[in-house]
Amino acid sequence: MEARVKELQERLSKKKRLDPNHSHKFTKLTSTPEQARKVNSRTLSATEEAKLHKKLRQKSELRTGDTDSEDDEDKRNPMEQTYNACGREIKQRIAHESKTGPRERIEVIPMAKKTSGVEKPGWKGTEGALVNIGRAGASTSQEQDKNVTLDAYSGIRIINPKVSQEALREMMEARKMVRMSTITLHLRKGEIEGDWATIAVLVAKGNPKVSQKGSQYCIWKLSDLSDCTKTAALFLFGGAYKALWKHSVGSVLGVLNPNVMKDK
């Protein structure tokens, strides 16, 4: 056996001497050359390219933290951030109606069922009455800015006021001002007695109704815009209904000594 192995070794040695260019070749496992790789690609259509750009812009806006116009307005006017989302919506609606709605006359209408006469502006007596003070909302031009008043009692901005602050101050003399959003709280504490008044914005009008006696009446919703979730229902009967039912949403009204109905 050893002789056989030795013989084979000698043969291999002779073969190497006869083939000087002989070299050992090894197979190396390598990755596929870059040129041999198959690449799948296609060209985007115009529609697909537009969608891709739109998605990239949206992602860019999210990364940069862009905000909407209302947020930008609040940042520019931090002192005017007094309204919540509902209040801003009502304010925009009022601003729009102030451009197209008719101008109302100044008038005081007694709310008693038996009276229907129109008196001069003012609260001379202590009976329930309504005074149209103007329209609430934000100004939209420099010309309107000259006709905008910030009511000292309610904090409501009034466009083209029908009653001046001086006249309103005289009407409120010796009277207690109660904000519309706090009427319920005052009633619970028993503090709403005597001669008092409130100022609010007409935010909603109900359809006319007919009572059991056959007389027409309507129900309005009023708010001082400090909290739009708190509104008060105002019932108009008799002469008050006939004289005031045409008033539009956005009117600022002063109410003197209304009869308060208990919650059922």
Q: Where are the domains of the chain?
A: 84-256
pLDDT average, residue stretch 87-102: 62
Contact 157, 148 (CB under 8 A): yes
Name residues whose C-beta falls within 8 Å of residue 87's C-beta, 6 or more positions apart in sequence. Answer: 225, 226, 228
Across 26-30, 116-120, 254-258, which has the greatest mean pLDDT? 254-258
Q: Considering the entire predicted model, what is its pTM?
A: 0.48
- pLDDT above 80: residue 71: no
> Yes or no: is domain 84-256 CATH 1.10.10?
no
Q: Which residue has the higher pLDDT, 194 or 150?
A: 150
Which of 244, 253, 176, 262 is closest to 222 using CA atoms?
253
- pLDDT above 90: residue 110: no
Q: Which residues pair with 256 in a beta bridge?
A: 129, 197
The pLDDT value given to residue 189: 76
Query: For residue 239, what are the CA distances in angstroms to 64, 102, 111, 190?
Result: 59, 21, 7, 30
The pLDDT value given to residue 192: 76
Contact 162, 247 (CB under 8 A): no
Minimum mean pLDDT range among 4-13, 28-37, 92-101, 235-244: 28-37
Q: How confident is the model at residue 52 (pLDDT cuts 50, 70, 90)?
A: confident
The pLDDT value given to residue 250: 92
- pLDDT above 80: residue 224: yes
